[in-house]
Chains A and B, each alone.
Chain A
Amino acid sequence: MAFLEIKDLHVSVGNKEILKGCSLKIEEGEVHAVMGPNGSGKSTLANVIAGNPVYQVTKGSLLFRGENILEMTPDERARAGIFMAFQSPVELPGVGIAQFLKTALNEKLKSQNKNPLDAVQFIKRLKTRATALNISDEMLKRSVNEGFSGGEKKKMETFQMAFLEPDFCILDEMDAGLDIDALKTVSQGINVMREKTRSFLLITHFQRLLNYIEPDYIHIMIDGKIVHSGDKSLAKILEEKGYDAYR
């Protein structure tokens, strides 16, 4: 049984088909990168796994730990261990980060029949993860993504991931809009989370991110399908030849 298995997935928005038979298998502890030109369906793939209701799955299956999760709501998937870091996360004005994460974590613990964290445990966990990502106390007092710069948003997505400790992490265009220092911090934050029991799916347009996070496998997506897969050396080839070679 694969950790995550996508079989012949067809996905539409309105009348437009975006994924046209996408298949992908990810095992426990692996890091996969999906690369492709703009509009190839990379972000759609990420969103479909997370359960975004905007996308309609018309055909195919999506198995997580052997269980078909297509019927599950986004929050059920999250509590089952799936996390998506957004390319451009939306603002939640007035919703404090700490309160947001406390509710999220306690819901997850509740679904696993575990006790919620008390205030002291919660603060400790929050502070530890924040320090590791250079996130100040001041920033923790702000509302979720409200008034954040592009870099701050990406940092905060990584921080939320580190805090919630999901088993499967989808990172949608994490490098977009990041300067080199922020990219290093974010990559570091992701790398320390790599474990035998945790898998990653990196969605990226550029090879740059893969200099900092080394994937086990790279897949090339063109026009809603994975057309080629290989190991990390594929990134170099792509950089030289471009996507055109795979069209």
Chain B
Amino acid sequence: MSEQEKTIDEFVSKEYQYGFETDIQSETAPKGLSEEIIRFISKKKNEPEWLLEFRLKAYRHFISLKEPHWGKLNYKPIDYQDLYYYVAPKKSEGPKSLDEVDPELLKTYDKLGIPLKEQEALAGVVAVDAIFDSVSVATTYKEHLKQKGIIFCSISEAVKDYPDLVKKYLGSVVPYTDNFFAALNSAVFTDGSFVYIPKGVSCPMELSSYFRINAKNSGQFERTLIIADEKSTVSYLEGCTAPQRDENQLHAAIVEIIVHDDANVKYSTVQNWYPGDKEGKGGIYNFVTKRGICHKNAKLSWTQVETGSAITWKYPSCILKGDNSIGEFYSVALTNHFQQADTGTKMIHLGKNTSSIIISKGISAGFSSNAYRGMVKIKKGANNAKNISKCDSLLIGDKCSAHTIPVLENQNTSSVIEHEASTGKISEEQLFYAQTRGLNQEQAISMIVNGFCKEVMQKLPMEFAVEATKLIGINLEGSVG
């Protein structure tokens, strides 16, 4: 039995040893995971019985599972009993204005050129649902959206206010049986975002949510549920920044998206969790399950810019169930220093005339490892389905690595899968050329890398693209010595 298996085995077979009594007055649950802790979380959040049952089922399933290790990832075993699963915010009340938001966080936003203050001024352009720790403390523009019948709130609020919707859709795309981390999230998720766009409504603004990990040793288990009803349209932005931190932090989120007939959802992510220091110490472990289901004539487009985390394990996917539905995946994954990313997508074609496109750009620098892992599956009934995949890797230096692991499965003779892959390096010649124009080496690299990613960056909403371009530059700092 390997070290990791031993740990998991120990954990699974171990009785909860801390003798923790459910104390509803306490703001933080003690370290560790057990049915009691889950009951505590559920009680703390005044959840209905069905949700507690959902969590407990997930937990019972979770303890029967082993952590997956098929990814091209190498990390120390995670001690799931050494984590906090519920941490309430330090203040009992949320900030009344942005002035009350942690100045450290505002500084990080400033560095990225997206000060919240500015966003407030941009009223009507971006709605901000900021999550600090595990409880949602600020939701703006909700009222404005409400007039259109759009629901945009924390998932905890949705459980209280729209239980039928949550009950109907929670776990419908990513069941708790899906995988190890999905089971974990289903058992202990504390908060996240909920979006419902009613029939025929086009959401008038980009919906945005900023997350950050705050308290020490607190695993973050966001749960996002987006439902786009028939003929509706929405663009959702998710962005993460995390301040420097010494210890590895586990992050296992789930995003579920239901795209009904003729609806259109665009989900954009800029992921910038703390990646660890230059020696590879610290950093976030990010194990995410993101999946959407497309009904007839529906379209789901994932765009992600992944620059953060020590470990990234993430495959935003589309189940193209309805005829003529479309799935898209545009990804930039940048790893530097000792970061490891194993990311890609799954496109499952079930309906007729379904089509999907995958554009993946991986950039590795330093000692990092960057893998694209993708699956395109065209099932028997998916007549005239079509997929185009293009996976490009760019290497900076000679200590890093890039891997492309595509799985293509076509069970329908009328359907087509096209796959293209390339690996290249930034040439000395390109650097010299840019330098003779007056750009320093870091600017030159940043510009060449951003050029390499352009196809994906163009898919991001404008304000996000600016932020992402800066992020690429910031994350490439020190990639050449």
Contacts and interface: CB of A to CB of B under 8 A. Distances in A.
Contact of B438 (A75, A86, A90): A75
Interface residues of A, number: 34
A51 B432 CA distance: 8
A77 B438 CA distance: 8
Contacts of B452: 93-94
Interface string A88-112: 0110111110011101110110010
B256 to A, nearest CB: 33
Interface stretch (B132-140, B270-278, B404-412, B443-451): B443-451
Contacts of A50: 432, 436
Contacts, number: 82
B447 A103 contact: yes
Interface in A34-65: 50-54
A73 interface: yes
B455 interface: yes
Contact of A94 (B433, B439, B440, B454): B454
A74 interface: yes
Nearest to B447: A95
A31 interface: no
Nearest to B443: A103
A95 B430 CA distance: 11
A21 to B, nearest CB: 25
B435 interface: yes
A123 to B, nearest CB: 18
Interface in B314-333: none
B439 A104 contact: yes
A143 interface: yes
A104 B429 contact: no
B447 A51 contact: no
Nearest to A79: B438
Given A107-B439, A107-B440, A108-B438, A53 B448 contact: no
Contacts of A160: 437
A73 B434 contact: no
A90 B427 contact: yes
Contacts of B444: 75
B435 A73 contact: yes
A53 to B, nearest CB: 7
Q: What 3 A-B pairs are tightest by C-beta distance, nearest first?
A: A94-B451, A94-B454, A95-B451
11 contacts: A51-B436, A74-B432, A75-B441, A78-B437, A86-B433, A90-B427, A100-B434, A103-B447, A107-B440, A107-B443, A160-B437
Interface of A: 50-54, 73-75, 77-79, 82-84, 86, 89-90, 92-96, 99-101, 103-105, 107-108, 111, 143, 160, 164
